[in-house]
Chains A and B, each alone.
Chain A
Amino acid sequence: MTLLPETTEKKLGLVIDLDTCVGCHACVTACKGWNTENYGAPLSDTDAYGGDPVGTFLNRIHSYEVEPKGGGCSQTVHFPKSCLHCEDAPCVTVCPTGASYKRTEDGIVLVNEDACIGCGLCAWACPYGAREMDPTAGVMKKCTLCVDRIYNDNLPEEDRVPACVRTCPAGARHFGDFADPDSNVSKLVAERGGIDLMPEQGTKPVNKYLPPRPKDQLQDMDVLTPLLEPVAEEPKGFLAWLDKRLEAL
């Protein structure tokens, strides 16, 4: 049913630390790998190795450059983007078939691929570009929050997190329950001032982004600076004589 639940018992989602992300794309690869081999239609590549590679991904890393307001060095921010599992998910209500739905128990937004007609309207309704139509299967693909990992008793406990979180070598991705104020993710958001993307769209995203910390400012000259005065620019003594002789040659 594509009516949104009024509340969900849990609000599972991700915290993405823009201060820590190094833009290595490991989460992109882990996501593609897991979601191609497991739940639902595989994420196809229509051109994997050609000059214009095209394929379906559920997670993509943009990189931005920010020019600080007060001047100074620009900051490079690597910016992973996947489904934010919004509380007011516009992608769910537009779906004509009921394929797109938000789970009451944990708030995960999923697509029932057997009911998806591939009309693409949900992708149009999403402000974040979180949904991509798979050209081979003709169904809409999106982040499942690795629903087939997080509840999977066959996996070791440390693997029961989304593939992107499990693989991140920098620890920039965190998974947890935002409905619980004492959860790891709720604490991170409170401590670091986690933000919503495009809040003016009114989607109430569950996933939060931790803004990058401001870069260090260049302070006054270091106390050792005077000791680093350049050595004599003009050669003296023997070197000066050698220099002149060599010039004369």
Chain B
Amino acid sequence: MHPAPSVIIFTVLSGLGFGLLTFLGLGMPKVTGWEAFFYFAIAYALAVGGLVSSTFHLGNPQRALKAFTQWRSSWLSREAWLSTFALIVLAVFGAAAVFVGVTIAPLGLLGTLLSLATVLATAMIYAQLKTVPRWNHWLTPLHMLTVSLAGGAIIAQQTTAAIVLLLAAGGVQILHWVLGDRRFGERGHTIETATGLGDRGKARLFEPPHTGSNYLLKEMAHVVGRKHAQKLRIISFVAMILIPLIIVALLPVNPFTAALATLFYLVGAFASRWLFFAEAEHVVRLYYGASGSEPPYQPSFSS
């Protein structure tokens, strides 16, 4: 799949923002006044910044409010509602903490649950797609949840939670990569099932439908950068999991070490999310002659 920057920025930053809000809602850390202001400002900048970024890949962003209408069937619509509810509930909770110095625990808990549900809804947008076998697995929501919460725990300076969540996120990330590599083959989608010509013999693409490229190839048959995938996985894992783990576990807990760990986490998370898209194979590639590790048709020239 095409790794669109707007969607990568959105899922990473919003994920981190809602991860942080999850902890703030639980009163971890229990902050009031100016301290609370800074924590909530960071969380809202990340969550809202990410959500705004997500509208940049829309063809007609001026109609984005219509995305609230189909919550009964669409995870994207549910994400819109849940993120709005989470932001409103925690705005009240945050305002009470900042201006009145009061922590309304039940409201915080509700905000925490809504933040978790938002990250889950984001993940389900991808996990629901049968057409992308690598994503269509329960590990995808678990992956996005653990990555979000690990990042939130780092900024919230919750040492124990951060260590546990980073270990969990690392484990799930490796599983998601290793099992993901096999998913397409396991699903049994081939050029023969795609064309229905399998009972006749072995099919291969003789001629693509067009000499240039098209939306489908650009969007769903992305092949650029696959050769660096292993290196990027290592970079991602070291930056997102190992370095923050070392910083959180060994260095003193203060805002500076938290910021340092967050920076490394972000570099790794962006690499991980880039791979999440770039490595995901859509079944439509079969119609363009892809089979096994063979890439689909790509136009030989480009302007």
Task: Using CB atoms and an 8 Å cutoff, list the residues of chain A in contact with chain B.
Answer: 1-3, 23, 28, 47, 50-57, 60-69, 75-77, 79, 81, 90, 92-99, 115-121, 123-129, 132-135, 137-140, 195-202, 209, 211-212, 214
Cα A129 to Cα B197 in complex, Å, equals 18
Cα A117 to Cα B80 in complex, Å, equals 14
Q: Which residues of A contact B288 (CB under 8 A)?
A: 62
Q: Which residues of A contact B209 (CB under 8 A)?
A: 28, 57, 60-62, 81
Query: Distance in Å from the Cβ of B129 to the closest Cβ of chain A?
Result: 6
Asked whether, in the complex, the Cβ of B74 is within 8 Å of the Cβ of A94, the reply is: yes
Which of A28, A47, A211 is close to B196, meaning CB atoms less than 8 Å apart? A211
Asked whether, in the complex, the Cβ of B74 is within 8 Å of the Cβ of A96, the reply is: yes
Given A64-B206, A96-B67, A211-B197; A121-B76 close (CB under 8 Å): yes
Query: Distance in Å from the Cβ of B209 to the closest Cβ of chain A?
Result: 4
Asked whether, in the complex, the Cβ of B63 is within 8 Å of the Cβ of A97, the reply is: yes
Q: Which residues of A contact B195 (CB under 8 A)?
A: 64, 77, 79, 197
24 residue pairs A–B, Cβ–Cβ below 8 Å: A52-B212, A53-B211, A54-B213, A56-B215, A57-B209, A62-B207, A67-B203, A69-B200, A75-B201, A90-B130, A94-B125, A96-B80, A98-B66, A117-B60, A117-B61, A118-B59, A119-B58, A121-B76, A121-B125, A123-B219, A123-B220, A129-B287, A201-B131, A201-B283
Given A60-B209, A64-B206, A117-B60; A94-B287 close (CB under 8 Å): no
Q: 0/1 per residue, B64-81, Cβ < 8 Å to A?
A: 101111101111110010
Asked whether, in the complex, the Cβ of B129 is within 8 Å of the Cβ of A133, the reply is: no
B204 within 8 Å of A (CB atoms): yes
Q: Which residues of B contact A55 (CB under 8 A)?
A: 214
Which of A3, A75, A140, A198 is close to B73, meaning CB atoms less than 8 Å apart? A3
Query: Distance in Å from the Cβ of B301 to the closest Cβ of chain A?
Result: 6
Q: Determine the residue in chain B with the shortest Cβ distance to A124.
A: B129
Q: Which residues of A contact B64 (CB under 8 A)?
A: 117
Q: Determine the residue in chain A with the shortest Cβ distance to B303.
A: A52
Which of A52, A67, A116, A124 is close to B220, meaning CB atoms less than 8 Å apart? A124
Asked whether, in the complex, the Cβ of B73 is within 8 Å of the Cβ of A129, the reply is: no
Cα A129 to Cα B188 in complex, Å, equals 18
Q: Which B residues, 234 to 277, have Cβ-Cβ distances below 8 Å to chain A?
A: none
